[in-house]
């Protein structure tokens, strides 16, 4: 692929990624701004904090230089109640607090969790008794008395500490406390982030489209529809490079969307996957192929961002013109082709030791992918096929290509399966804190590999010990991959024909091969 095109696509992808990140940040800040409307605060839950020392202090709060109270960068609110008497809450500079509590036993609040609530304290020993805090004049903000006390303190530069004490400076401080913060900059910052996100995404899309279109020679990189994907000049015993007339495949119209059947036609599907198992595979090279393919993974990460952009643009083009722009179509097919070669080499099949080319175009590599270009696509289907109609296929493909986290609940001192608990007769939730039965109940979980991954691992182990990749296993892996890539092409809006519910095993779908007579004449 032209280096200039790659540079444009990489820069464009980075801009799109930055724009989406800015958009996500804008959404988060917008929610925060909405939550603090009507002078509201973003607060943590109110909980009871109790220490045996003279004072409860916060960790050091450092505010950057240049921030003054008039800037309205943020306001901190501390509310508290002493259920047994009068409470003091104050905030002062770290230096003044250290001087006031020198030699006084006090507790600094550390890590706090709220579900369930727990608080950690760092104790500082001392023997001196402090003077009543309300008599001190160094507090930047303070409040004392019975009932609920509250301070609202605008952020300003410096290092600050919050102090909670009994108003009479007696030891054993117990208080129901809640802290909150609000900032008037959330709203304006949200709009600036939205503006930046729009600029970045539009600029990234423009660069990606320029990278796709720059230097492209229409019709030079891809064969005519109907030519079977495979190395030029043929490969293996079938001569896959032979061009055959494109078979008639029924197009699913919007009106016929409800007539979907499992493989409702027996012809070849216009998204075609090819891969031929190379003889003489190395016994051990598969151990490092994933590492050798890292340069491909890096480039493909950017190409798949561009793929998503091109697909969205193509979706709007189909909606208004019924046509998938050919340049975008060829690029997206090329991205899938590149990804398939890497998967075939490194992790998805391990079918060849030949290093994949850095190219979107067709080459003589023993793995290929192609989609016949559609003359017209349905306006209606483009709105629903990628998220609704594809669901049955996505569930099936996810079942054999996805992984998941499995939790097994066990009971008993030896961890044996107890039907009364794990078999559906367990009649209620477990109180993990107070229920004695919880001691004998355990949950064991772990990630499970996909069927495809397991099959490839089996093939790799067989290759390591026997020097051979079991052919039947290869054919099955190819069939599962073929099914997955057909669904991918359909989801990416490349075809309106619904993918067949069909496992076409082997290096090539037999339906894609030209008739024997045509092959003989071509020979």
Q: What is the pLDDT of residue 35?
A: 87
Range of the domain at 92: 42-182
Pick from 417, 448, 479: which residue ends a domain? 448
**What are all long-range contacts of 452-456, with beta carbons under 8 Å and residues at least 24 apart?**
452/348, 452/400, 452/401, 452/477, 452/480, 452/481, 453/403, 455/480, 456/347, 456/348, 456/349, 456/350
Phi and psi torsions of 96, nearest 5°: -65, -40
Residues 6+ apart with CB under 8 A from 257: 380, 381, 384, 389
Structural domain count, the chain: 4
Cα–Cα–Cα angle for 50, 128, 62, rounded to 5 degrees: 60
pLDDT tens digit string along 17-66?
Answer: 999 999 999 999 999 888 887 778 999 999 999 999 999 999 999 998 88
Q: Are residues 171 and 287 in the same domain?
A: no
Q: Are residues 205 and 99 in the same domain?
A: no
Q: Are residues 409 and 509 in the same domain?
A: no
Count CB atoms within 10 A of the CB of residue 181: 15
Whether residue 385 is contained in a domain is answered as yes
| Three-state secondary structure call for residue 112 | strand
pTM equals: 0.75
Whether residue 216 is contained in a domain is answered as no
Q: Is the pLDDT of residue 244 over 70?
A: no
**240 — pLDDT class (breaks 50, 70, 90):** very low
Q: Are residues 243 and 356 in the same domain?
A: yes
Distance, CA of 56 to CA of 347 (rounded, Å): 56
Segment (H or E) for 461: helix 451-466
Closest to 353 measured CA to CA, from 469, 217, 489: 469
Q: Are residues 386 and 318 in the same domain?
A: yes
pLDDT tens digit string along 285-310?
Answer: 999 999 999 999 999 999 999 999 99
Q: What is the pLDDT of residue 290?
A: 96
Q: Are residues 312 and 171 in the same domain?
A: no
Whether residue 415 is contained in a domain is answered as yes
Whether residue 119 is contained in a domain is answered as yes
**404 — pLDDT class (breaks 50, 70, 90):** low
Pick from 392, 416, 448: which residue ends a domain? 448
Whether residue 344 is contained in a domain is answered as yes
Residue located via tokens 């079938």: 238
Q: Are residues 436 and 454 in the same domain?
A: no
Write the CATH number for 159.
2.60.120
State how far the alpha carbon of 311 is from the alpha carbons of 193, 283, 362, in Å: 25, 40, 21
Higher pLDDT, 467 or 226: 467
Residue located via tokens 């020198």: 102
């Amino acid at each position: 692929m032209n280096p200039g095109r790659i540079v444009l696509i990489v820069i464009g992808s980075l801009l799109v990624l930055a724009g989406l990140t800015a958009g996500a940040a804008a959404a988060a800040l917008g929610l925060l701004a909405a939550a603090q409307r009507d002078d509201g605060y973003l607060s943590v839950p109110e909980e009871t904090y109790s220490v045996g020392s003279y004072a409860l202090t916060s960790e050091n709060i450092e505010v950057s230089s240049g921030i003054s109270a008039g800037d309205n960068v943020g306001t901190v609110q501390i509310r508290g109640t002493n259920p047994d008497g009068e409470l003091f809450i104050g905030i002062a500079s770290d230096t003044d607090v250290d001087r006031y509590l020198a030699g006084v036993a006090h507790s600094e609040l550390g890590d706090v969790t709220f579900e369930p609530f727990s608080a950690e304290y760092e104790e500082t020993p001392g023997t001196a008794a402090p003077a009543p805090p309300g008599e001190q004049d160094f507090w930047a903000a303070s409040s004392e008395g019975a009932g609920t006390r509250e301070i609202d303190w605008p952020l300003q530069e410096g290092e600050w500490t919050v102090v909670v004490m009994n108003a009479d400076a007696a030891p054993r401080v117990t208080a129901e406390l809640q802290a909150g913060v609000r900032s008037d900059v959330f709203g304006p910052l949200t709009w600036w982030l939205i503006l930046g996100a729009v600029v970045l995404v539009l600029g990234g899309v423009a660069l990606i489209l320029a990278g796709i279109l720059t230097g492209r020679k229409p019709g030079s990189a891809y064969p005519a529809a109907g030519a079977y994907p495979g190395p030029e000049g043929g490969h293996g015993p079938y001569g896959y490079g032979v061009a055959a007339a494109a078979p008639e495949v029924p197009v699913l119209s919007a009106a016929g969307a409800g007539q979907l059947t499992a493989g409702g036609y027996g012809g070849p599907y216009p998204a075609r996957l090819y891969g031929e198992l190379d003889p003489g595979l190395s016994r051990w090279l598969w151990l490092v192929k994933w590492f050798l393919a890292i340069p491909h993974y890096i480039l493909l990460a950017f190409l798949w961002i561009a793929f998503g952009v091109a697909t969205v643009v193509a979706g709007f083009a189909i909606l208004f013109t019924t046509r998938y722009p050919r340049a975008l179509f060829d690029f997206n097919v090329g991205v899938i082709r590149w990804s398939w070669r890497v998967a075939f080499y490194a992790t998805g099949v391990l079918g060849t030791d030949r290093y994949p080319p850095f190219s979107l175009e067709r080459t003589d590599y023993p793995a290929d992918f192609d989609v016949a270009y559609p003359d017209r696509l349905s306006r209606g289907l483009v709105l629903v096929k990628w998220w609704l109609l594809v669901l049955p296929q996505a569930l099936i493909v996810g079942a054999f290509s996805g992984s998941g986290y499995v939790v097994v609940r066990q009971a008993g001192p030896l961890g044996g399966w107890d039907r009364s608990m794990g078999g559906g007769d367990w009649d209620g939730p477990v109180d993990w804190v107070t229920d004695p039965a919880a001691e004998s109940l355990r949950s064991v979980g772990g990630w499970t590999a996909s069927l495809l991954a397991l099959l490839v691992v089996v093939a790799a182990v067989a290759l390591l010990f026997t020097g051979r990749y079991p052919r039947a296993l290869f054919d099955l892996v190819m069939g599962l991959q073929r099914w997955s890539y057909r669904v991918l092409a359909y989801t990416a809006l490349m075809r309106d024909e619904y993918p067949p519910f069909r496992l076409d095993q082997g290096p090539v779908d037999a339906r894609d091969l030209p008739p024997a007579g045509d092959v003989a004449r071509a020979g």
